[in-house]
Structure 1
Amino acid sequence: MSADEGALPDEGLSLWLTDYRMDVGEPWEGRRLVALVGQSAAGSLDFHVHPDGQAVRVWMLEVYPGFQRRGLASVLMDALYAAYPTAWINHGTRSRDDARWWNGYRDPHPRRNVHNRPPGEWAAYFDAVEVASDKAQLVHRNDHDGLDGHRDAVYRYGERGEQEADGYLPLYRPVRAAMLNPAAQPLHGATRLFLPPRLHTHVHDESQDAASRAEALLQHLGHDNLPRTRWYATRQQAFEDAHHEEVFQNRGSTQGGHACGVHAEPTGRGLSSLPHRDVRARGLHPCRRRHPRRAGRDVLA
């Protein structure tokens, strides 16, 4: 934490490692670490994880207005290191504000930072020439802004590293993106509904049969007329996506958002042979309002 950062908030800080999916053309799995103060999103750290879990690429670190300069950026980065205790971390480049923050941040495991180690140790995960280019940009920014940038820890700080990096390119092993296939696997989605008060009460009445509550939702929506949703390989990911939307929209309603799950069964046919609307929702599952730290407990079968 830098010297000019204030104390952490008193409202109750919690961290949520989500399965939120980022669509940025990256074949590695996108994850988001969210800092919550009370029920409000205070900051987030977006990153990508290699399929074997041994390499992480930082995408974006952001603390939202009203929560800045209180140490949350450092808490989020520390949590990322803790969540992947043996993984290589590639921080990429940084904006001017990010560079100033990094200058005051204490890296908990500098030997896992790819900028600090020879390319031969991590070149199977990251393009060594790209990393060398990122480092050169950081050196230029640090020199321009008069920052140290932890230069003593950086491998060959300020030296031209492109030629050395070029020799390690054959070690790089790109990853092919894993695609969801509705013809071969069950898919799960979730959407948030804002229900009339009486229907909301009925759907959340656990003394009623779950099937009848799901039927009431379908009657309200109209059969075969479910809202558009994003699809996931697991139900947990689907409901976390819906909760993520609720947290970041911050509607402030105590009785509005109601998550319902949509389950699509595979047809067994190739994608090219699927007629329009052939893959449909086969089940609708009402659930209670979920808390992000109580994953997997609020779905009614």
Structure 2
Amino acid sequence: MFVDAIERVDLFTRPLHSIVRLYGHDGIIPGTATLFFVNEEACAITCKHVADLVAQADAIFQNYREFQGARRDVLREKNANHLISQLETKFKLSPDAIIRIRNNFIGCVDQFQRLNIYRHPTQDLALLRFEGYKRILYSSYATFLGDTSRIKPGRSLCRLGYPFPEFTNFRYNPSIDDIEWYVVGRASSPSFPIDGIVTRLTVDNRGLPGIEMSTPGLRGQSGGPLFDMNGLIFGMQSATSHLHLGFDIEDHEVLVNGRKRRVSNYPFLNVGRCVHVDVIKAFLREKGVKYYEG
């Protein structure tokens, strides 16, 4: 049903690859997110929570660099361990604190000097403007649904994104005590579609509409397009809600591999939450961004 639409949408949907290092660790955590382009002028949209991680990357690393400098100053003190502990508190560093994020926009533009980020005040939506590029690397752009009365419960729609970070072109460089992109390894991750039906149309406390889908949005699909079998954009994947079903089982005896076990189960239905196309178009108009309808 969605074969042709996926091929069409894939032309302007792109992955964001990220690598993360935590305080006190040399290990690298890879991650992905999704964005898609709305015109031929290197303007793309994604989730606000994705854009926030991009915007905070420099500040996070600067905080860690300042901590490193302060730590060097106290290393020769007799109570160095105590002083370092105080510095960790001051700079808000714990074993699960992020100290480094490196981002790589795949297949977007050949290069860019600036990335301007505009956040929606209430919705999980952000606009990215690449500036200082010479050539765009995507070959099409989104066409948004014009008649939004077509968004009704029961309509089959699809989402496309990059939920599985299978790229491996990164490493920890001990000579500089930092993580970095590397020429060796796999540089791509596959896109992944997931379909479902519209279950409910929602409205927030400001009256802005949203779309709920019968299937969850997968990690890494945040910022990916929601579209019909013609490739028209109905919205953008934002989050997953967990609806408690109430079919709970507590301390129930079952046979597992021929042996009796007592188990408990509290099932939830995972549904997707999407930003409505009307919200996206209104935001683009507010920012003076050209877009296309069909």
Specify if TM > 0.5.
no
Q: Which has the higher contact order (CA 8 A, sep 6+)?
A: 2
